[in-house]
Each structure stands twice: as C-alpha cells, then as structure tokens.
Amino acid sequence: MSRWEGNTRGRLEQAALDLFTEQGYDRTTVAQIAKRANLTERSFYRWFPDKREVLFGGSEELEERFVAAIHAVPGDTGPLATLMSAFTVAPQVYRPRDFLRKRTAVIAANPPLQERELIKLASLSQALTTALRERGHDAPTAHLAVDAGMAILRTTAERWLADENADYAQLLSASAADLRTILTQDAAFTRP
C-alpha cells in the first residue's frame, strides 16, 4: 500500500477495527493502527484525537445529514414524522454492513468504546432536539420525539445489520409501526 493511496480516514478505521478484532482494543496502540494502514502516527492524529474515536469517524457527518434533512422537511410535518424522514438518509452515510457488524461487536466488548458511543448518541440526540426546536416544537415535545426516534433508529439499524437483504427504508417504517403498535396496545395507561 502506498503512503499516498488516499482514503486515509477509511484506511485508519479499517486498520483499527481489524486490530481491535484480532488482538483486542486494550492491546492495540495508535502506532500499530497507523502501521497497519501504512501511515504515520502523525497522520492518525490528524484524523482522530485518540484511538477511542477511530470507530466513530462518521458520526459528525451523520449528525449533519440528519439535521439538514430535518430542515428540508415541510414545516407542517409532526416532529416524529420529521425525524423518520430525516433518518432515511442514514444508509448514505453508514459504512458497509460487515464493517458495522464488527464495529458493533468491538464496542459491545469494550467499556471505553461503549462510553464513547453513549457520548456520540447524546450529542446526536441534542442536535436533533435543537433542530426540532428550531422548527417551532417546544422542548418537551422535541425531547420526547427524539427519544422515540432514537429507539426507532437503533432498532432499524439492528435489523438492517442482521439481514443482508433487508431494505433500510422498509425496516425504518416497520420499526416506527412497531412503536406505534406498542403505544396503542398500552393506550389503557393513563395518568392517575
């Protein structure tokens, strides 16, 4: 691999994922990741502040795309429907499924990465809430819609990763319908 091959971020992400899978997150160093990607440590640090961040390289782009998509939805659309529309852009940003499956397994096995993922999800939730607020929804409505939307997004992603032939948009609709069913079945719950 040539030093100037291109796709530096992708090469570093793949090298890190491979090494985390092969030898474990704790035993992998930035130097090893850079060497596997045929780059220098300095190149690594141009792209990522630390090794925890290397598996979350696309999170900013996903957040930006979701927020832009929220602002593109017609103004009279409800908050959850707005999120569902925005979430349809996810496959344009997601990495290949096999990469994401391995990434999910590595994160699940490593508390520092679990913590980083929670931080990234909190940041995404805040950005989505802010975007809904900018569309005129009050804070409680925006927070509730985002919490429900994030549950739908997570369920959709899990289903999408589990089935190589599944259509993301169909799974997103099915996950939203499942939440609707749950809420309808529990409609007997009322405030005391």
191, pLDDT greater than 90: no
pLDDT category at 149 given cuts 50, 70, 90 is very high
Q: What is the pLDDT at residue 95? A: 87
Q: Where are the domains of the chain?
A: 8-54, 58-185
Q: What is the pLDDT at residue 46? A: 96
**pLDDT > 90 fraction of the chain, expressed in percent and rounded:** 88
H/E run at residue 135: none
Over residues 63-89, the mean pLDDT reads 97
51 and 28 Cβ atoms separated by less than 8 Å: yes
Residue listed under structure tokens 């569309």 = 135
Dist CA 175 CA 183 (whole Å): 12
Which pTM was predicted?
0.88
Q: What is the pLDDT at residue 153? A: 97
Domain 8-54 grouped into CATH 2.20.25.10: no
pLDDT category at 187 given cuts 50, 70, 90 is low
Q: What is the pLDDT at residue 57? A: 85
Q: How far is CA 11 from the centre of its chain?
A: 19
Q: Which residue has the higher pLDDT, 189 or 74?
A: 74
Domain at 58-185, CATH from 1.10.20.60, 1.10.357.10, 1.10.150.120, 3.40.50.300: 1.10.357.10
Q: What is the pLDDT at residue 6? A: 74
Which residue in 177, 181, 20 sits closest to 84, CA to CA?
177
Which residue in 70, 24, 17, 89 sits closest to 48, CA to CA?
17
Q: What is the pLDDT at residue 189? A: 64
Task: Please measure the distance between the N-terminal and C-terminal CA atoms of the chain and give it in whole angstroms.
Answer: 66
Average pLDDT score over the chain: 93
Which residue in 83, 57, 73, 191 sits closest to 141, CA to CA?
83
